[in-house]
Amino acid sequence: MARIKHIYWAGLLLPMAIGVAQADIYKYVDDSGRVTYTNIPRKGAKKLDLGPTTVNTVPAARPKGASAPSDFPRVNGEDQKKRDDLRKKLLQDELATEQQRLTDARKNLEDGKAVRLGNERNYQKYLDRIQGLQDEVTLHEKNVQALQKELGGLN
């Protein structure tokens, strides 16, 4: 019974003792210039004074509907409209380019399906090549969808 009490108290006190323990850190540079950091002192090692540790906290988010601080930079409506128009134009240009790439990728896929290359005697090589072409079509389809979604959010 006494042994159980000792184990009980050790279980309670050990985490508290561990929580306040702090190891010293040593920096050791060997003959070939390799640097080792350790908590075990050794001959030729320098004890590092790291000072107190600091904790960085994230500032609390502003409540929804709260206004920006008074010193926050402001953009007038005309400048913001120009920025929005420029962004929309860039997205439209990117969409047109991506749609052209999608058309080309679809054509490459159809052309690729129609031809079996000389090094594709093994049917799996043919399937792997076609899968690569299909993956490219899928990528461009996803890009077009993402750009259309982005443009839809501007209106």
pLDDT given for residue 155 in this prediction: 66
Residue 28 φ then ψ, to 5°:
-125, 130
State pTM to two decimals: 0.52
Q: What angle do CA 15, 17, 23 make, to 5 degrees?
A: 115
Tokens representing residue 20 in the block? 């306040």
User: Tens of pLDDT along 3-35?
Assistant: 555 555 555 555 554 444 566 888 888 888 888
Residue the block writes with tokens 């601080």? 69
| Torsion on CA atoms 25, 31, 32, 34, rounded to nearest 10 | 0
Which residues lie across from 36 on neighbouring strands?
28
Higher pLDDT, 28 or 147: 147
How many angstroms separate the Cα of 92 from the Cα of each of 43, 85, 89, 101, 153? 67, 10, 5, 14, 13
How is the chain split into domains, by residue range? 77-152
User: Tens of pLDDT along 75-132?
Assistant: 888 988 898 999 999 999 999 999 999 999 999 999 999 988 888 888 999 999 999 9
Eight-class DSSP state of 63:
P
Residue 36 φ then ψ, to 5°:
-125, 130
Which residues lie across from 46 on neighbouring strands?
27
